[in-house]
Amino acid sequence: MNLSFFDQFTSPSLLGIPLIMIAMLFPALLLPSPNNRWVNNRLSTIQMWLFHLITKQLMIPLNKKSHKWALTLTSLMMFLLIINLLGLLPYTFTPTTQLSMNMALAFPLWLATLLTGLRNQPSISLGHLLPEGTPTPLIPALIMIETTSLLIRPLALGVRLTANLTAGHLLIQLISTAAITLITIMPTISLLTTSILLLLTLLEVAVAMIQAYVFVLLLSLYLQENT
């Protein structure tokens, strides 16, 4: 029983071939690219409004030099948002519950922001490791602490996204299992549990959107420090 709760986080395979790439590429099919023969409708208008809103919110704290990251950050935001929401559907697989995938997204982008700062303004980027006005005896300890906090950033990004989505999926499965088990024994308690499950599902929809936004927002803040 305990193992079955974690089966949903196992990467699916067909004839020994992992299907995680299909799960990752499928969201791209839901966002068709406009062309010269594109006919505007309500769906495409809402889609473009959402793109502009996300891009505006991400680019407000950044300077003009960082606006070249707009396409990368907006695309990552939509990618994570759609994958997280699709993972809440029954009999689906959520790739963002895999720490390896989240680290594969977090580490290269964090490293890119760090290298951007070291290339464009090395003295300012290195100055973040030592707060101004630090007493001389505390300089070595503070440099080690700040360096550790800097290197742990990609791990925090990946673990935060993985832990929040995994916990939500486990809670949904636990409560739904309890509701199905109690339906023949205590129907009233089962109905109450089902209502709690519906509220939890709405909460998980919000968590899926918030976690995608937080992931990209933290990357934009890291970029702001280095530009």
Q: What is the pLDDT along the chain (227 residues), one digit of tens a residue?
A: 445 666 666 666 676 666 667 767 777 776 666 666 666 667 777 878 888 888 888 888 787 878 888 888 888 888 898 888 888 888 777 888 888 889 999 999 999 988 888 888 877 777 777 777 777 787 788 888 888 888 899 999 999 999 999 888 888 888 888 888 888 888 888 889 889 889 999 999 999 999 999 999 899 888 888 87
Within 13 Å and on the Cβ side, how many CA atoms surround 108? Answer: 8
181-192: b (≥16 Cβ within 10 Å) or e: ebeeeeeeebee
58, 213 contact by CB (below 8 A): no
The residue ranges of DSSP E strands in 57-180, in sequence order, are: none
The token pair that represents 150 in the structure block:
């800097």
What pLDDT sits at residue 1?
45
What pLDDT sits at residue 34?
63
Q: Which of 214, 92, 201 is nearest to 158 (CA)?
A: 214
The single-letter code of the amino acid at 122 is P
C-alpha dihedral over 145, 151, 152, 154, to 10 degrees? 160
171, 14 contact by CB (below 8 A): no
Secondary structure of the chain: what % helix, strand, coil (to 5)? 75, 0, 20
Tell me the C-alpha distance between 184 and 134, whole Å: 66
C-alpha angle with apex 11: 6 to 15, nearest 5 degrees? 125
What pLDDT sits at residue 142?
82
Within 13 Å and on the Cβ side, how many CA atoms surround 80? Answer: 29
What pLDDT sits at residue 207?
92
Dihedral sign from CA coordinates of 154, 160, 163, 166? negative
211, 77 contact by CB (below 8 A): no
Cα Rg of the chain, angstroms: 22
What pLDDT sits at residue 109?
92
The reported pTM is: 0.81
What pLDDT sits at residue 206?
93
